[in-house]
């Protein structure tokens, strides 16, 4: 069976990809530049970061910065 993703699901997947490859500040600027600010930000934030804690996000940030310094 073929499942068609909703527009919201596609936007969420795209945001996850951006967050995996860009700094959060760059993603926010991209988001603003593309006028993607519509919708329920708090709901989206809760969905994207449901499994995260401050410590896990901080660890990912440090890993990201370290990987960028090696490039």
Does 10 score more than 70 pLDDT?
yes
**In this predicted structure, what is the pLDDT of residue 71?**
65
13, part of any domain: yes
Is the pTM value of this prediction over 0.85? Answer: no
Number of domains in the chain: 1
Q: What separation in angstroms does the CA of 49 have from each of 1, 4, 55, 57, 67?
A: 29, 24, 12, 9, 21
Q: Is residue 1 part of a domain?
A: no
Maximum alpha-carbon separation in the chain: 44
Confidence of residue 11 (pLDDT cuts 50, 70, 90): confident
Q: CA 34, CA 48: separation in Å to the nearest integer?
A: 19
Range of the domain at 58: 8-70
Where is 50: in which H helix or E strand?
none
Q: What is the pLDDT of residues 34-64, one digit of tens each?
A: 866 667 777 877 877 888 888 988 888 888 8
Q: Provide, rounded to the nearest whole percent, the portion of the chain with pLDDT above 70.
A: 93
């Amino acid at each position: 069976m073929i499942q068609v993703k909703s527009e919201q699901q596609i936007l969420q997947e795209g945001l996850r990809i951006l967050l995996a490859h860009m700094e959060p500040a760059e993603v926010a600027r991209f988001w603003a530049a593309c006028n993607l600010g519509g919708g329920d930000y708090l709901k989206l934030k809760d969905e994207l970061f449901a499994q995260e804690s401050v410590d896990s996000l901080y660890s990912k940030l440090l890993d990201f910065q370290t990987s960028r310094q090696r490039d």
